[in-house]
Amino acid sequence: MAIFPGLAAFVASILPSEYRRILDAWAKSLANYLTPYAFFEVPEFYGAGGNEIYDHVQTYLSSSTAIAAHHVSLCRPKNATRNTFSLAHNESIEEEFMGVNLWWTHHVSQRQGNAMNWGDVPLDEKRTYTLKIRKTDKTRVLEPYVEHVIATAKNLKDRTRDRLLYTNVKGKGG
């Protein structure tokens, strides 16, 4: 079994780049065909702005689901009243929905190029959640599960949102 990577490296070193690209594409499509799982990436940023689904997934997984993981990041944002839990880098968690097993994995990788900051968020890191579902179950489960995650996250945000009280006070000037 260990001979295949060595053989692939040898063949790649002697083939012209055009044939290597074709061979790589063929190998990737063969691997996609043979794997029983479908993978869905949820990046933190999409295009020029943030990804709303990423925020919902993070909120959803910060509930009791993330506590079940073996490696959890624990923090408390400034001026917050509650702690937040999140999956650590490369940590996975398994969940069941409609009798189907699903897996979430949190990935953090370094971006190439100059490091920049956007507020408190460093932009030199690329954060994504990956959802893994069996290919046979994805058409039946994916859409209801994503709606479940979004609804649960909105409910959690509403319950944990700090209530602020504003009053109208007439000032000295008028």
Q: Within the chain, how many helices (H) and strands (E) appear?
A: 5, 10
- When pLDDT is cut at 50, 70 and 90, the band that residue 159 belongs to is confident
Under a CB-based contact definition with an 8 Å cutoff, are residues 98 and 110 in contact?
Answer: no
The DSSP letter of residue 70 is S
Residue 31 has pLDDT above 60, yes or no: yes
Query: What span, in angstroms and rounded, lies between the C-alpha atoms of 9 and 127?
Result: 30
Provide long-range contacts, Cβ within 8 A and 24+ apart, for 46-55.
53/146, 53/150, 54/127, 54/128, 54/129, 55/153
pLDDT of residue 128: 87
Give the chain's mean pLDDT.
77
Angle at 54 between CA 121 and CA 91, to 5 degrees: 85
pLDDT digits over 95-137, tens only?
888 999 998 888 888 766 655 555 555 557 788 889 999 999 8
pLDDT of residue 1: 55
pTM, to two decimals: 0.67
